[in-house]
Amino acid sequence: MDLNNKFGWQDIEGWFGFPQIYDKIVREAAQNDTLIEVGSWLGKSTAYLVSRAKLSGKTLYIAAVDRFGDKVYRKFVENMTRAGAVDLLAVMPISPRHAIQNIHDNAIFAVFLNTQQTPQEIKAWLSKIKPGGLIGGIGPAPKEMKCITWKSTGNAWSGWTATKV
């Protein structure tokens, strides 16, 4: 993200009320770790994550997974380009289920599920996270996991995070 760029994540349409979670992910990630956002829509939270990764000075790899749709995909790419985020971002315009099939077990540091996932999908994503990595999402916390719950900025929605042991 070009730090001199005047177009940033705040200028992108959409919802994003959990900067503290993305800050934690970037802070705890090691050099060369991979971070995945599932459910990116127009890219508001994606652009925030990329901006924080760049500010950290670490080399981090970020992927955005979303089915998008043609119009949304074009707008997402436009937003990421204007926000200077494309150089650090891999876009996966596929379903989360297909993305899971294309990622090796224990290969990523963190995944944030910006969409509702079934318990089976959460378990599948958890298998992709290396020990000590983070998983989180919006909505109710999975009952079978020890999670920390939180409220978004303005209490619009709630979410959860957990560390893989």
Distance CA 1, CA 20 (A): 19
Q: What's the domain count of the chain? A: 1
Residue 79 falls inside a structural domain: yes
Distance CA 76, CA 91 (A): 10
Tell me what the pLDDT averaged over the chain comes to: 90
Residue 3 falls inside a structural domain: no
Maximum alpha-carbon separation in the chain: 44
Its domain, for residue 83, covers 9-163
The 10s digit of each residue's pLDDT in 50-60 is: 999 999 999 99
Q: In the prediction, which pLDDT does 2 show?
A: 47
Residue 107 falls inside a structural domain: yes
Q: What is the DSSP letter of 142?
A: P
Q: Mean per-residue pLDDT for 2-12? A: 78
- Give pTM, 2 decimals: 0.90
Residue 144 falls inside a structural domain: yes
Residue 83 falls inside a structural domain: yes
Cα–Cα distances (Å) from 155 to 151, 152, 159, in that order, read 5, 5, 10
Residues 6+ apart with CB under 8 A from 48: 9, 16, 19, 22
The 10s digit of each residue's pLDDT in 96-124 is: 999 999 999 999 999 999 887 888 899 99
CATH code for the domain in which residue 135 is found: 3.40.50.150
Q: b/e per residue, 5-14, with b = 16+ CB within 10 A?
A: eeebbeebee
Q: In the prediction, which pLDDT does 162 show?
A: 87
